[in-house]
Amino acid sequence: MRTNWKHNELIVIFILTVTIFLAVFVWGLGLFTDIEEEPYVSEETDRIVVGVSQLGSESGWRTANTESVQSVFTTENGYFLLFSNARQKQENQIKAIRSFISQRVDYIVFAPVVENGWRTVLQEAKEAGIPVIMMDRKVEAADQDLCVSWVGTDSRQEGVKAGRWLEGHLRKEGVTEEEDVNIVVLTGTEGASSAIGRSMGFAEVAHKHANWKILEEKCADFTSAKGKEVMAGFLRKYSDIDVVVSQNDDMTFGAIEAIREAGRTVGVYGEISIISFDAVHDALEMVADGTINVDIECNPNQGEYLSQVISMLEKGQEVEKDYYVEEDIFTIDNVTEEVLQERNY
């Protein structure tokens, strides 16, 4: 009797074990199916799904650029936006783009932190049939064909404008071609197309003037903290700086702090002339009061243009390879109260 009972116990234990094993197996299968199917985007069939990879949030300009994109790719406008901030790291942008591809978005928009190193991931997007649009910065020329279009600013031209302004300024000040003009340049992120373009454009003008001495160009990463640090280093090294070319407003804010802490003066009424780029609100206030001599605008409002490119592509229309946003130059003569009021970034 006792032996029979033991036998039955064993059968019950066996059946229970098999049932639990099968249940876990079936549940596991369900889980894996969910991951592979990525139901997230397929639920969004009636809206245009756009994956945006922003390079970071290093400057006031970048924040405005992000806001411009986020204010356009909204539900009310018929979009579903997947937004990713790469925090200045190319590897994070590549990861984000791969995730957009696996989620089968309709379009990928990205601001490449640097020019090089995109070929593989852009080819993957192309093979998946997803159009990629660059914004703000560009990838290297050889890979631009892997993107359908670009919306941004003409950074080389911005550099040329800075050089031309300096030509006019020196002429007005009566500085002859025989007198040395000592210049230092704070450059943006190494390898970024906007930094490369601005350096190139300024150098084009500088090369025409044998008396313009570029003492040094150094990367300050488009940030205020780095701008201050690099400028303090320049001031320790060179006692005779006449002009600072700072490739964005954030670096300029830091550089001005360093100059003042070194007991020197800046701007229209000071010893060191300041050339800046971006023209965000706080910098324009400093142009108006003479602290910054000139600010070459870099327009961050690119969202509307991007949405127009996408709606053309949706209609099967041909799009241009490049769309340039409008840009101005600001000096003490044209920063009016109205300009300041309108500048909301």
Q: Where do contacts with ligand AHR occur on this chain (CB under 6 A)?
A: 58-59, 61-62, 136-137, 188, 194, 222, 248, 277-278, 298
Residue 129: C-alpha distances to residues 35, 78, 154, 269, 305 (Å): 21, 21, 29, 57, 22
Q: Which is nearer to ligand AHR, 58 or 242 (CB)?
A: 58
329-331 and 294-297: which strand pairing?
A: antiparallel
Identify the burial level of 191 via C-beta atoms within 10 angstroms of its C-beta, where 0-12 means exposed, 13-18 middle and 19 or more buried. middle
Token readout for 328 is 């101005």
- Non-local (6+) Cβ contacts of 44 within 8 A are 80
Q: Which is nearer to ligand AHR, 106 or 198 (CB)?
A: 198
Token readout for 118 is 């995109």
Cα separation of 103 and 98, whole Å? 9
Q: Which is nearer to ligand AHR, 169 or 198 (CB)?
A: 198
* Shortest distance, position 147 Cβ to ligand AHR, whole Å: 16
* Shortest distance, position 253 Cβ to ligand AHR, whole Å: 11
* Shortest distance, position 277 Cβ to ligand AHR, whole Å: 5
Q: Which is nearer to ligand AHR, 88 or 307 (CB)?
A: 88
Length of the chain: 345
DSSP structure string for 18-76: HHHHHHHHHHHHHHHHHHHH-HHHHTTTTSEEEEEEE----SHHHHHHHHHHHHHS-TT
Cβ-contact 297, 193 below 8 angstroms: no
Q: Which is nearer to ligand AHR, 181 or 274 (CB)?
A: 274
* Shortest distance, position 320 Cβ to ligand AHR, whole Å: 20
Cβ-contact 73, 108 below 8 angstroms: no
Q: Which is nearer to ligand AHR, 136 or 143 (CB)?
A: 136
Q: Which is nearer to ligand AHR, 130 or 220 (CB)?
A: 220
